[in-house]
Amino acid sequence: MSDFRSFVGKQVNVEISGKNSCKGILIDLGFDILVLYNGQQYLYIPFVHVQHLELNSSPDDEIENPNQAPFDHQSESISYRKILEHAQGRFVEMYVTGNKSIHGYITSLMNDYFVFYSPVYKTMYISLYHLKWLIPYQSHVVPYSLSTQSVPFHPSPGTLPQTVMELCKKFEGKLVIFDLGDHSNKTGLLNRMDTNNHMIEFVIANGEKIYWNLQHLKTISICDC
């Protein structure tokens, strides 16, 4: 990390998993996350998804140094988990999969996943390993300009499993949607979670039995249909 800590305060280009790229001022670094300011928003990007980082050889004059970050970076060193803890209950935008971001609130943080409430997608369970970036909004901002009463923040009820594998065991026999349903074969019955090899036995609409590797699934939602 020390080799490019000298980039802090300078404009950089960052290439991220999923053929995404962004540029802005490198604000801060933790051992597993970096903070980028693009002139309008702060992006918190886990290092695991940073494929390439370099100084911007053609800095954008319109990107000025920001006044205040959404979270305090001065009192303690930052980390991916600390950022997620600070973000709980605050409206955020995040990118996980597909060609669109999702908006809502982190309600619970577990060992290897977190619970996310979206006014559009409702409750989602998202793997910590697949979050590409997170953008916190100002504390007074409410999703889609809805009233605060219509999108109340509630921590997840009851006791949640600590791992996403245990969560899938709990969801055996339920209709679920993986990865926002980006593929027709990702909506179906979670028949069985094999804890020995991370494979999920899954039954799709036509009754065919297929298998998904849990380690490659990014989001899980319970189907209300």
Architecture of domain 5-55: Roll (2.30)
Local structure of 143: helix, strand or coil: helix
**What residue type is assigned to position 92 of the chain?**
V
| 181 and 165 Cβ atoms separated by less than 8 Å | no
Q: What's CA 64's distance to the chain center, in Å? A: 27
- pLDDT per residue over 58-68, tens digit each? 888 778 878 77
- pLDDT score recorded for residue 83: 96
- pLDDT per residue over 127-162, tens digit each? 999 999 999 988 777 767 776 666 656 666 678 999
Compute how many other C-beta atoms are within 10 angstroms of the C-beta atom of residue 186. 19
CATH number of 164-222: 2.30.30.100
- pLDDT score recorded for residue 69: 79
Q: What are phi and psi of 151, to 5 degrees?
A: -130, 65
| 187 and 91 Cβ atoms separated by less than 8 Å | no
| 124 and 118 Cβ atoms separated by less than 8 Å | yes
Domain 88-145 class in CATH: mainly beta
- pLDDT score recorded for residue 74: 65
Q: What is the pTM of this model?
A: 0.91
Q: Where are the domains of the chain?
A: 5-55, 88-145, 164-222
- pLDDT per residue over 182-210, tens digit each? 899 999 999 999 999 999 999 999 999 99
Give Cα separations from 69 to 8, 135, 173 (angstroms). 14, 11, 44
Cα(83)–Cα(9) distance, integer angstroms: 20
Question: What's the whole-number mean pLDDT along residues 177-182?
Answer: 93
pLDDT at 2 over 60: no
**What residue type is assigned to position 205 of the chain?**
A
Across all residues in the chain, what is the average pLDDT?
A: 90
The mean-pLDDT minimum among 50-59, 66-75, 87-96 falls in: 66-75
Q: Do 164-222 and 5-55 fall under one CATH topology?
A: yes
Cα(73)–Cα(85) distance, integer angstroms: 14
Question: What's the whole-number mean pLDDT along residues 97-113?
Answer: 92
Compute how many other C-beta atoms are within 10 angstroms of the C-beta atom of residue 97. 19
